Amino acid sequence: MTPNGASSTGDAQASNAGLKGSSWSRFHGRINEVANNFFYRLGYRVATNPKRTLLISLAFVVACCFGFANFTIEADGEDLWVPADSLARDHQSIVLEDFDGDGEFASFLVESPSETGSVLTKESVDAIWELDAIVRAVEVGGNTYADVCGKELDGVTCEPVFRGITRFWGDFATYEASVTSDADILATVNVATFPDGSTVNQQALFGNGITYDDDGNISGARATIQGFALDSDPDDGADINEDVFDWNEAFQDAMDEAANNFDVFDVFYLTSRSTDDALNESVTGEMFLFIITCEEIVTSYKWLSKNFSQPSFAADAIALRAYVLMIAVVSVALGRCCSGPVKRRSWLGVGGTVLVAAAGLAAYGLNSGFHIPFTSLSQILPFILIGIGVDDMFVIVAAYDHTDPSLAVEERIALGVKRCGVSVTYTSLTNFFAFLLGSMTSLPAVEYFCLYAATAILFDFFLQMTAFVALLTMDANRQKAGKIDCCCCLTSKKYLQEQERQHQEGIQRGVTLPNSNGESAFNAQGKHDLKAEVHQISPMGRFMKDKCSPFVLSAKGKALVLLGSAGLLAAGIYGVTQATQGFDVLDLAPDGHYSIEYTERSRKYDFDIQEWYVPMDVYTQEVDYPDVAVQAEMQSVDEEMLELKNVAAPLDSWLVSFIVWAEVNTTYSANIGTSGGYPVYDDRDTFYTALSAFLADEDNARFLADVVFDDEGIIKISRSEMYLINLVDTDKNVDVLRDTREVADQSTLDPQPFAYSAVFLFSEQYVVIYNELLSSFGLALLAVLVLSLFVLGKVTVVLLVCVTLIIIDVELLGFVYHWNLDVNSITVIELIMAVGLVVEYMVHIVHYFLHQDPSIPKDARIAEALGEIGPSVMVGAATTFLGIMPLAFANNVIFRVFFKMFLVIISFGFFHGVVFIPVLLSMLPDRLVSHSGHEEGTASITRHTGSKKVVVLEGPMPVETTD
């Protein structure tokens, strides 16, 4: 049964302090009093019903898992990394409504294996024709290349390869009849036009690997590319053409097999679905790392409990030096209780870790139930959660261990939960709100990740405060009963005998110490044993309190800390000024993926279709096309576009060709050649009659794909084509996007024209990335500010926490540059995570500092806080590192980037939380950083035991009173 409620006034000291304090102080004290009472009752209720609590928690997790019925995976790059409300998205919708898709393709690239070799030999070109034949023979579902290729206007003939050396001959029969030697190959590739009249672009065909003879003619090339245009029209009611999608997969299989059959060159390949395939493989490719993480944690717990169960720090010092600091910290936290098989907590650690995994599982299930897709980034979550969850677990255990061992288990659990409840709630809510507010981003991938993370952190908090507390209760009862840790069915008689012996010795001294039945410790005179007042403190806690704290708070220590902090901040600020934007979706692909190998060669030779000669169209909608002024403005817009730095000819414009055609075709015109050279017709009907004749001309039939008519035969939308070039970095992508929009915005056409290219979709995120970063961080900081005011109470301390948080994020953003990384969507996620994780390192110290007795010197209070909660903060940092360490061995770039940034977050967060914050607290005036008395609410809790009323104060010491 839950004990009776808390006294409404609290103890006299709290009440008096509250009366003397400000209204805010009294309000804050009342909030903390209510919170403390709530967590006391929660802990007591769980401790008295641990099995029921576990069953309810299990039922909750199982219920959430029903959401997996709607589990979906999203791996479409556009749907993940393009801002949902972006202008490029709007333009894409307009384009896809009336024109073909963004361009389905299949491509292969061949590279000479020798640095001095060339693919412009008869042997190599023969092999390229053989590859071409393999492509055209690929068949799946009854569809060959002839069925899925991009068609000419007749709807039957396949378009020629949009890049490829075979275009010089058109078909293999012509090639075979005309080429007998290497010289014939070189003579052919040096011509200016293809047989169909199209201009040869040698850079597009051979990249930068061309060699020239003394006369300036091509004499060789290290590599060449062959691209096949495929049908881009999606199926009715679908986003893709299933036949093309399946054929591309068969093409990839065929190229994978063929790549091993050619010695004359190396073969690489890519299709329009390759990026999505890579992301799909990435989604399932890293799950083994989470399994490693869980096994790693569990193994550590077992090892630690076995090897570090002695309470003496000195005795363990040699062993601690032999292992990494992370294992040492965890050992101190979990294995510091009395030695022997009974006091070990290996299964408690295992159970707590399982609960962390269960929280993630429940979050995945619930989000799936609400149709929130699973992405490659969602795999990062378990690594984050294992660190956060284990951190909360250690804080709870530390709070329990800090209570009076002479009290009953239920009482100790209640007091422990009361002691840490506000702190754990605050850090959990900070993480929750940071991610929840981060989900307001316009970037879908970040939104989905933040929703998963916010839900998982909330569930982890719920399970830690209920199910883990229940496990802790069961483990404490096991110890009380003398059950062996790893084999609970066995009882240690030696342990029980030792407990009974200590109990009897206590009776002889007039003191009742805790016996095997867990009875409270009161002596015959009703006086609590003073020895029981002494809080248990871990060896690491004593070290931090007695060794680290005095040094850090000394004049020399403060100088070193401030100097180091200034250096980190300076490095961060410099890095911020040097940081660049950039994000390659293929960084999410697994290492060694064929798409990465192709892209690396493509960029090496400047073949990359995302960098060189990218088609860009300028669209005009529902303007008065027969109007001469409109025609002049349309051409002016095209000319201004071509003057931009990263836009190049050739220009393919139906209007320009129509004007040239009109000069020699006067049948439909009453006034050709006037008005500055633009065709002027007697009326609108004559204009459209002439346009129909122009498009019916076989030489102009290609423009039928560039002009769309409405039901009344009026032009609805039209386009002209040009090319983007030299998009070798993010800045150039953003510049050309903004420049083309500026040209369009200055146009007098109504509605205004717009430029669109497929690369604009991914460039769009860089237009908004800094706004997204600042807004996400600002909202998270606001959440920290509000929560801190209610939890910490002191405005100066709250500002100290927020300013430190800003400093850390500046340093983190700066180290993006120092790590040789780029600012992108991943950076936004990392900064959001940093808010919650860093607050955990800082606030536990600050909160426990504010709970110390204000009558003792400030530096002593800082030392007490570090001794009490410092080890748990260290464990939090260590276990977070342990949780994300497998990311260093991940199979793709982005996961390894997460590891690097996590390392910075953990290091900077721990340094500022455990070292920098204490120094600032020590330097600031006491009145600004301390409560005047226990105004934070040291409310008394009363419980009745027979004829006596026991008042349990904020500290662990119970005081007996008589009714």
d(CA 586, CA 593): 9
pLDDT tens digit string along 285-294?
Answer: 554 444 444 4
Residues of the chain whose pLDDT is less than 50? 4-20, 287-333, 335-338, 511-513, 515-534, 672-673, 933-963
User: What pLDDT is attached to residue 118?
Assistant: 92
User: What pLDDT is attached to residue 239?
Assistant: 57
pLDDT tens digit string along 717-742?
Answer: 999 999 888 777 788 888 899 999 99
Distances in whole angstroms, Cα of residue 529 to Cα of each of 346, 496, 574:
31, 22, 58
Under DSSP, is residue 85 helix (H, G, I), strand (E, B) or coil? coil
Q: SS3 for 635-693, per residue?
A: HHHHHHHHCCCCEEEEEEEHHHHHHHHHHHCCCCCCECCCCCCCCECCCHHHHHHHHHH
pLDDT tens digit string along 511-547?
Answer: 444 544 444 444 433 343 433 434 556 677 788 888 8
d(CA 105, CA 835): 43
d(CA 457, CA 833): 11
User: What pLDDT is attached to residue 14?
Assistant: 40
Query: Crossing angle for the helix pair 444-463 and 409-438, nearest 10 degrees?
Result: 170
d(CA 227, CA 210): 19
Per domain, the residue ranges of the chain are 12-71+284-578+766-951, 104-271, 603-765
**DSSP letter string over 698-709?**
GGGGGGGGTEEE
d(CA 619, CA 740): 12
DSSP E strands: which ranges in 12-117? 104-111
- Write down the residue that tokens 């903060």 correspond to: 873
User: What pLDDT is attached to residue 947?
Assistant: 39
User: What pLDDT is attached to residue 394?
Assistant: 82
Whole-prediction pTM value? 0.76
In DSSP terms, which residues pair with 111 in a beta bridge? 223, 266
* Long-range contacts, 295-301 (Cβ 8 Å, 24+): 296/882, 296/885, 296/886, 297/349, 297/353, 297/386, 297/390, 297/879, 297/882, 297/883, 298/349, 298/350, 298/353, 300/327, 300/330, 300/882, 301/330, 301/334, 301/345, 301/346, 301/349, 301/350, 301/353
**DSSP letter string over 312-328?**
-HHHHHHHHHTS-HHHH
d(CA 332, CA 879): 13
CB-side neighbour CA atoms (13 Å) of 828: 34
What is the Cα Rg of the chain in Å?
Answer: 36
* Residue 839: both structure tokens together: 């607050």
Report yes or no: 941 and 40 within 8 Å, Cβ to Cβ: yes
Distances in whole angstroms, Cα of residue 768 to Cα of each of 86, 92, 772:
9, 18, 6
Look at domain 12-71+284-578+766-951 and name its CATH class. Answer: mainly alpha
Report yes or no: 118 and 220 within 8 Å, Cβ to Cβ: yes
* Phi, psi (rounded to 5 degrees) for 5: -65, 170
**DSSP letter string over 803-825?**
HHHHHHHHHHHHHHHHTT--BSH
Report yes or no: 773 and 827 within 8 Å, Cβ to Cβ: yes
* DSSP 8-state code for residue 620: E
* Residue 261: both structure tokens together: 């059959």
Residue type, 816: V
User: What pLDDT is attached to residue 413?
Assistant: 94
- Write down the residue that tokens 């030489």 correspond to: 699
d(CA 586, CA 229): 22
d(CA 798, CA 657): 69
**DSSP letter string over 827-864?**
HHHHHHHHHHHHHHHHHHHHHHHHTS-TTS-HHHHHHH
* Phi, psi (rounded to 5 degrees) for 143: -105, 125
User: What pLDDT is attached to residue 238?
Assistant: 54
* Residue 758: both structure tokens together: 């497929």
d(CA 914, CA 544): 10
